[in-house]
Amino acid sequence: MSGTYVESSYPNFRKFVETGVKFPTGSDWLRAKRKVDNLGSTSLWRVHDKLYNLSSFIDLHPGGRDWIETTRGTDITEAFETSHLVNVEKVDAILAKYYVRDADVGHVRNSPYTFEEDGFYKTLKRRVRPLLEEIGTGPSPALTMLQDSLVLLYATTALVGASYSSTLVQIMSGFLLGMSVVCAHNFAHMKDTWRRFYLDLCPFTSYDFRITHNLSHHMFPNTVLDYESESLSIILDTRPGKDKRGYIRGVATPFLAHIFYTQLFTLSFISWIRLLFRKEVRPEQGLIALQVLGFFYFSPDILTGIKCFLIVFAGASYWIGFLSNSHHHPACFHDGDQPISDCDFGLRQLDTVLEKNDAVHSTLLAISTTFGEHPLHHLFPTVCQSKLSMLKPIFEQTLEEFQTKNRKVTQLELFRGTYQQYMRDKELTYDERKKNLP
């Protein structure tokens, strides 16, 4: 397989780009990671410096088989650490049963992230554990009711918008679809539940999303291993660099960005179609086809049905793109910048993300539909977003002890910073990035 390697702030982080693959899928990303991780066997899994054969555990995994099956042949250290927050001793005992051997001498992990027992992340993880064992990590009744209500409202407005050819209702339906999908992404992080299939109402597909978002973006944000930022770089490049295209660095960027936000799903549809041609089809992908048929069936004619489909999905795409900016600000690390000196996984995660401090973002509706509580969500992705605010006192105390901060800005500042980041061509040190906070 031929390709090229992209330089990174981290010497061992190399994104393998297959020749001719303009719109990669999750399976493309996994193939690249297997090649770079190079475990010596595609039937093993790496956790820290030990190799395990989890083949017989795939169907026994409490979180669902996909998490284990898809990561075969890769280093899953980050995913393992962030997924297992309670019953840790039991988890470690189970993992030990599948031990094969230590990693080869000299074959260090490609990832620079560390999980030292006295480091920030492991300390915070130990401290939140008693609380999580008490309140649980799964969704609250209020969150599940909110999720189901959003989907019901989307279906209702989509039906009305198609039947009456109302552009305004179709736009509203699109926003509701976007809100439903953002909320559903919370369920895609947790153990298998049928509500994760709400994500398949959009062309992300829940299975592929778990790779491109959970295993890629969440583990390696703003690096060349971050599928989400890298796949969009063909149009909106968030990484600093003097070779950015003129139209990206130009004054028209804010206008260009808003147009592009409506077309995020277009790129996803291309990947979705590639999955069909590769015969990597899963039953839940049929939800898109059912929606399109519904638009055509309830609309007065085919052209109106096409218009309804385009408006609804553009509206949903815009909602997601417009609010996905917690990572893209000149104060955040982007590959090419100088990382913070401490390699602790948690501290490096926090270096890539800002929190929204507007009062409106403290409500459950806002948290679940606008990617709220983002720093804590990155540290503990498998904890339901309805529970994250309960961890804040412990989080803030631990931050203070490690002499760092949870950086908070307004949504307006995030919008402004996003456009600055699109145009940023200078690579910054950690101290220089700190000066970009208002």
Distance separating alpha carbons of residues 375 and 357, to the nearest angstrom = 12
Predicted pLDDT at 324 = 82
Find the angle CA(348)-CA(350)-CA(356) to the nearest 5 degrees: 160
Token pair 């806002």 is found at: 366
What CATH code is carried by the domain that includes residue 68?
A: 3.10.120.10
Interval 60-119: pLDDT, tens: 999 999 999 999 999 999 999 999 999 999 999 999 999 999 998 778 898 999 999 999
Indicate the residue among 53, 80, 113 that finishes a domain: 113
Query: Do 245 and 106 belong to one domain?
Result: no
Instruction: Give yes or no: residues 163 and 43 share one domain.
Output: no
Question: How many domains are there within the chain?
Answer: 2
CA end-to-end distance (rounded Å), the chain? 46
User: For residue 373, with 0-12 CB atoms within 10 Å meaning exposed, 13-18 middle and 19 or more buried, which class applies?
Assistant: buried
344 and 395 inside one domain: yes
Q: How remote is the C-alpha of 412 from its chain's centroid? A: 22
Question: Which of 121, 257, 275 lies closest to 208 in space, CA to CA?
Answer: 275
What is the model's pTM? 0.92
Claim to verify: residue 219 and residue 165 sit in the same structural domain: yes
User: In whole angstroms, what is the distance from residue 350 CA to residue 291 CA?
Assistant: 38
CA distance 50 to 44: 10
Place of tokens 């459950």: 364
Distance CA 193, CA 181 (A): 15
137 and 98 within one domain: no
- Please tell me whether residues 215 and 354 are part of one structural domain: yes
User: Can you read off the two tokens belonging to residue 417?
Assistant: 């910073």
Residue 56 and residue 168 share a domain = no
Rounded-to-integer distance, Cα 393 and Cα 414, Å: 24
pLDDT tens track, the chain, 438 positions: 334 445 788 887 765 544 446 667 888 888 888 888 888 777 899 999 999 999 999 999 999 999 999 999 999 999 999 999 999 999 999 999 999 999 987 788 989 999 999 999 999 999 999 999 999 999 999 999 999 999 999 999 999 999 999 999 999 999 999 999 999 999 999 999 999 999 999 988 899 999 999 999 999 999 988 988 887 776 777 888 756 555 455 444 667 778 888 888 877 777 777 777 777 778 898 899 899 999 999 999 999 999 999 999 999 999 998 888 899 999 999 999 999 999 999 999 999 999 999 887 889 999 999 998 999 999 999 999 999 999 999 999 999 999 999 999 999 999 889 888 888 888 999 999 999 988
Residues 121 and 108 in one domain: no
pLDDT value of position 4? 45
Residue 394 CB burial class (10 angstroms; 0-12, 13-18, ≥19): middle
**Domain end position, chosen among 51, 82, 113:** 113
Q: Is the domain of 283 the same as that of 226?
A: yes
Of 271, 297, 295, nearest in space to 285 by CA:
271
If asked whether residues 119 and 73 sit together in one domain, one would say no
Residue where a domain terminates, one of 70, 96, 113: 113
Choose among 186, 218, 149, 132: nearest CA to 385: 186
Listed residue (260, 134, 265, 161) closest to 203, CA to CA? 265
| Torsion angle, alpha carbons of 422, 424, 425, 430, to 10 | -130
The pair of three-digit structure tokens given for residue 185, joined into one six-digit string: 């992404």
Check whether residue 205 and residue 104 sit in a common domain: no
**Which H or E run contains 433?**
helix 430-434
| 158 CA to centre of own chain | 27
Are residue 119 and residue 109 in the same domain, yes or no?
no
Q: In sequence order, what are the beta bridge partners of 4? A: 17
Expressed as residue numbers, the domain containing 154 is 114-438
